[in-house]
């Protein structure tokens, strides 16, 4: 399996067996040829797999026209605030764009652009996301999530978790479902940004309340009642990390820029 390229389909099926740790190491490798290609099609090469070979991981790819326009309308370059990792993080070792694993919910197409403080896109940054499903449950913590303290993992599920590597435009794209709610927190998605083996940012992104109200009127969200925390009542909420959004048929498009300082 030496030298194989990791396609989207292979990544979803887990065929490539590329771990997050291996990808971070490869992105931080300064060997000639560790990054191949040019423009937005550059790829991270020679990433070790758990099967003993190597793989080439393609960047997430350019955003659609609407998503690109949303990114262009995002905020000026101001450092994105650090926010708590929360109790439900673990390294899921899932290098993929589609993180749904068949879970129901309104499709969310999420574009994240990583830039430095001078608005220059950062290439080869690894972006992780994780969040609860439409029912407010986190994979890996199905018996302990929903606003609880977390603690140790309770299961081997990995839905709504994944990582992608940026191309020359600094952009990654994910397909997920619109997060549900759970007691004590407003609607949010967690994210981390890594560059050259260093974690540059841990933060959270949020949604406009009118959008959440519209989504939660649809199934499977409408079956749940009793939401108790909104943006203005969440002590962690940051208005600077509310996504720009648009609708694409039944799906929601969302975009945000993360501006980070190299360490």
Model pLDDT for residues 45-65, shown as the tens digit of each residue = 444 444 444 444 555 555 568
The dihedral over CA atoms of 196, 197, 202, 204, expressed in degrees to the nearest 10, equals 70
Task: Over range 68-75, report the average pLDDT.
Answer: 82
Confidence of residue 68 (pLDDT cuts 50, 70, 90): confident
> Considering the entire predicted model, what is its pTM?
0.82
* Kind and range of the H or E run holding 199: strand 198-206
Q: Which residues contact 73 (CB under 8 A, 6 or more apart)?
A: 244
pLDDT for the residue numbered 193: 97
The closest of 95, 163, 166 to 125, measured between CA atoms, is 166
Q: pLDDT higher for 174 or 68?
A: 174
User: 54 near 246, Cβ under 8 Å?
Assistant: no
Residue 172 lies in a domain: yes
Confidence of residue 7 (pLDDT cuts 50, 70, 90): very low
Residue 44 lies in a domain: no
User: 192 near 202, Cβ under 8 Å?
Assistant: yes
The domain that holds 161 is classified in CATH as 2.60.130.10
Residue 216 lies in a domain: yes
Residue 240 lies in a domain: yes
Residue 24 lies in a domain: no
Residue 173 lies in a domain: yes
Q: Which residues contact 157 (CB under 8 A, 6 or more apart)?
A: 101, 139, 140, 142
Residue 168 lies in a domain: yes
Residue at token pair 């980070």: 260
Q: Which residues contact 31 (CB under 8 A, 6 or more apart)?
A: 46
pLDDT at residue 2 greater than cutoff 80: no
Domain that holds residue 91: 60-259
Model pLDDT for residues 97-139, shown as the tens digit of each residue = 999 999 999 999 999 999 999 999 999 999 999 999 999 999 9
Q: 59: which DSSP letter?
A: P
Residue 219 lies in a domain: yes
pLDDT for the residue numbered 146: 73
Residue at token pair 């929601």: 252
- Using CA atoms, how far apart are residues 25 and 244, in angstroms rounded to an integer? 32
pLDDT at residue 254 greater than cutoff 80: yes
The number of folded domains in the chain is 1
- Greatest alpha-carbon span in the chain: 56
Model pLDDT for residues 158-217, shown as the tens digit of each residue = 999 999 999 999 999 999 999 999 999 999 999 999 998 899 999 999 999 999 999 999
* Kind and range of the H or E run holding 212: helix 209-216
User: 90 near 140, Cβ under 8 Å?
Assistant: yes
Model pLDDT for residues 11-46, shown as the tens digit of each residue = 333 334 456 666 666 555 543 233 333 333 445 544
């Amino acid at each position: 399996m030496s030298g194989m390229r990791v396609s989207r389909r292979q990544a979803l099926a887990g065929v490539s067996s590329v771990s997050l740790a291996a990808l971070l190491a490869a992105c931080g490798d300064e060997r000639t040829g560790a990054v191949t290609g040019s423009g937005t099609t550059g790829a991270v090469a020679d990433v070790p797999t758990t099967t003993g070979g190597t793989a080439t991981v393609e960047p997430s790819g350019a955003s659609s026209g609407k998503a690109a326009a949303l990114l262009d309308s995002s905020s000026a370059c101001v450092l994105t605030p650090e926010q708590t990792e929360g109790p439900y993080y673990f390294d899921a070792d899932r290098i993929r764009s589609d993180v749904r694993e068949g879970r129901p919910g309104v499709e969310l197409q999420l574009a994240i652009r990583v830039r430095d403080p001078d608005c220059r896109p950062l290439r080869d940054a690894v972006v992780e996301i994780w969040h609860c499903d439409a029912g407010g449950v986190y994979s890996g913590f199905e018996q302990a999530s929903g606003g609880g303290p977390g603690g140790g993992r309770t299961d081997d599920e990995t839905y709504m978790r994944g990582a992608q590597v940026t191309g020359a435009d600094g952009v990654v794209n994910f397909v997920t479902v619109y997060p549900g709610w759970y007691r004590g927190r407003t609607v949010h998605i967690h994210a981390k940004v890594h560059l050259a083996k260093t974690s540059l940012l841990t933060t959270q992104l949020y949604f406009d309340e009118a959008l959440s109200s519209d989504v939660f009127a649809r199934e499977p969200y409408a079956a749940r009642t009793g939401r108790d925390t909104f943006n203005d009542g969440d002590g962690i909420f940051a208005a600077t990390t509310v996504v720009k959004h648009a609708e694409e048929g039944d799906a929601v498009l969302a975009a945000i820029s993360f501006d980070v300082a190299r360490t």
